[in-house]
Amino acid sequence: MRMLWEIPRFHRAARALLHGPAEGRSPHDPTWGEFLEEGGFSSYFVAHFALPLVSCVWSSGDDDSLGYPARHLFAFLEHHGMLSVSGSPTWRTVVGGSATYVDALAARLGEVRTSAPVTSVTRHDDGVDVRTAAGVTSFDRAVVATHADQALALLADATPQEEEDLAAIRYSRNATVLHRDASLLPTAPRARASWNYRSATCGGADRPRVTYWMNRLQGFDETGDQLLVSLNSADDFAEGSVVARMDYAHPVFTREAVAAAARLRTAGGDRLAFAGAHLGWGFHEDGCRSGVEAAQRLGVSW
């Protein structure tokens, strides 16, 4: 029962930190863990609410979750209507999933080259050279829209500041399985959510054990064939239930990473820009906004 009382107390404290005066301190302090400790929240609240909240959203382990900058976290939660018990917004999903809007955007482009991995990007006075296995192609301008560590590996002429900022954004790797085994959802149907966090103990997990209920997330029939995505699950899946196995890398948000992302949004000079979901909160919408901002910085409006 104490945790139920602590949830609205957390909401009030988070809103106060987010909108209170910030004179004399970094805009990205404290961390999520420091906020919880300073606020006197119980270990039960931390294990059963605070850690699952961040782990489910950002696929991060306990230590990484507690290192999340509190202001950055609370800005996301408020933006998504998650800093109150009631009044949550109505969520909408794109019919057909992300492939729908990727195809729509690609259809407006003059040329799309696939299966042509880039090995290096070099700026010069007349433009940007992009090297692939087929050779070097020169462009007037370029947007590097990859993970930060990949961007660092691609840039042949990264400045010291770019190297520092790209290296500051690290990633966690999560073994991911698309399957149909509904036993990984809560037994009680009313307890099932879009994001479901599972823990055998009160904290201490190196990797989040999360199952995403795709029927609800993608607007499928919830009573029909179940489609689920599980991360870092140690369970044996029911025979024949596994559809695909993947290994994904998700950005880890720290004070250093958030500060680096802010600088990267305006870095690159007048011929190159950086883009990616890691420059925001790590979601598809952040990637889209980042791409639009990168194009605008290079003189192109959507």
Domain boundary among 26, 59, 79: 79
Q: Which pLDDT value is given to residue 239?
A: 92
**pLDDT tier at 165 (50, 70, 90 boundaries)?**
very high
Q: Which pLDDT value is given to residue 95?
A: 85
pLDDT, tens only, 169-195: 999 999 999 999 999 999 998 999 899
pLDDT, tens only, 41-86: 999 999 999 999 998 889 888 889 999 999 999 999 999 999 988 8
pLDDT, tens only, 15-29: 999 987 655 554 548
Is residue 203 situated within a structural domain? yes
Q: Which pLDDT value is given to residue 262?
A: 97
Q: Which pLDDT value is given to residue 51?
A: 93
CB 68 within 8 A of CB 87: no
Is residue 266 situated within a structural domain? yes
**pLDDT tier at 97 (50, 70, 90 boundaries)?**
confident
Least confident of 126-135, 168-177, 221-230: 221-230
Is residue 103 situated within a structural domain? no
167 with 19, same domain: the answer is: no
Structure tokens at 249: 């890398």
271 with 136, same domain: the answer is: yes
121 has which bridge partners? 130, 155
11 with 75, same domain: the answer is: yes
Residue 88, pLDDT > 90, answer: no
Q: For the whole prediction, is pTM greater than 0.85?
A: yes
State whether residue 163 is helix, strand or coil.
helix
Least confident of 55-59, 87-91, 130-134: 87-91
Pick the residue with more confidence: 166 or 232?
166
7 with 72, same domain: the answer is: yes
**pLDDT tier at 224 (50, 70, 90 boundaries)?**
confident
Range of the domain at 200: 181-239
162 with 273, same domain: the answer is: yes
Is residue 249 situated within a structural domain? no
Is residue 130 situated within a structural domain? yes
233 with 194, same domain: the answer is: yes
52 with 195, same domain: the answer is: no
Strands 272-274 and 142-144: parallel
Is residue 43 situated within a structural domain? yes
233 with 198, same domain: the answer is: yes
Q: Which pLDDT value is given to residue 110?
A: 85
Q: Which residues of 128-156 are buried (b: 16+ CB within 10 A; e: fewer)?
A: bbbeeeeeeeeeebbbbbbbbbbbbebbe
Residue 205, pLDDT > 70, answer: no
Cα(111)–Cα(116) distance, rounded to whole angstroms?
13
Is residue 109 situated within a structural domain? no
**pLDDT tier at 124 (50, 70, 90 boundaries)?**
very high
Is residue 86 situated within a structural domain? no
Cα(264)–Cα(272) distance, rounded to whole angstroms?
11
Cα(7)–Cα(131) distance, rounded to whole angstroms?
52
Residue 130, pLDDT > 70, answer: yes
Cα(8)–Cα(132) distance, rounded to whole angstroms?
53
Number of domains in the chain: 3
